[in-house]
Structure 1
Amino acid sequence: MEEFLHDVPGSGGIIGCSLLLIQVTRFICGGFALGIRFNHTMVDAYGALQFLHAITEFVKGASAPSIPPIWQREQYLNARSPPRITCTHNEFEQITHNKLSSDDMMDSDKLIRTAIFFSPKDIQALRNQVLSENFHRCPRFDLITACLWKCRTIVLNPADPDEMVRVSIIINARGK
């Protein structure tokens, strides 16, 4: 794979590297390979795919992409004026690693990858096990996440019950 994408000095890592590197390699048979390396702080997979679709549309003769780029995001992302903190964001605080090392948790010999599907009957069974009235009204996503987190905590059995643990969920907020 490294032979298809030229390694530009400084192109690895996150800081001090190129933001976007595109390389087209033409083969003797007439085919070609498109290699793309981007800095993840600037673009995600969905954005890269949208960019490639736009290039494809231009190659096919379009004068503008079917999905226009969004500029002037500051109108959506501005802080209140004056800024004020409305809640504590513990997810950004540095924490020390727990006693169970990440090597133990991510040992591929110990991991089982599978898909789990929750039917309406399964969701109702989870709701029936929840004691709090608030959880009976929560979205399915929150209910499933809470139950999976509870099971994970039981399995890991942390020695210190006050130990800081986190869950991170990747979402697509583009439509918001």
Structure 2
Amino acid sequence: MIPKKTVMDEAAIRRALTRISHEIIEKNKGVEDLILVGIKTRGVPLASRLKEKINDIEGIHLPSGELDITLYRDDLTTNKAEPELKETNIDTDIDGKKVVLVDDVLYTGRTVRAAMDALMDHGRPTQIQLAVLIDRGHRELPIRADFVGKNVPTSLDEIVEVNVSETDEADAVTIFEKE
């Protein structure tokens, strides 16, 4: 892959997550019955950062969780590699709660569909909302984010890579050109 452009640096990501935190609080009129759930892999650290920011703003310990969607993906039969299972960890009952799913990039919508299926196996929330750092377009399913850090129009020949310091060397969002 050939790096084309860095669209967000560490400061831009921090500002976007701060804004999303305020939007989540505002839309939900507070944080009562709210749970943040990060979609593995990079949605988890983003959800953790949102949780910290919301806790700082509201002074309340917000419940959160981690969701592995591997077995819910619709490309399992076409993917030749063995799926790498990761642990789902949602310690809070989600029945009757508002769940905010958190992911790094919204693209076709298939990851979010799989995440909703996986989430419903854990309970029946009253509402599911979606927060993403990047919305790059090219939807294949009728899914849209409630909270978006940055809209980044892309071509199908481009790849959007989100790096977070928890799993990568630094925070950045970079567009790459497919070779």
Using the size of structure 2 for normalisation, the TM-score is 0.22
After TM superposition, the score normalised by the length of structure 1 is 0.23
Of structures 1 and 2, the one with the larger relative CO (CA 8 A, separation 6+) is 2
**Structure (1 or 2) with the greater helix fraction:** 1
Structure with the largest fraction of strand: 2
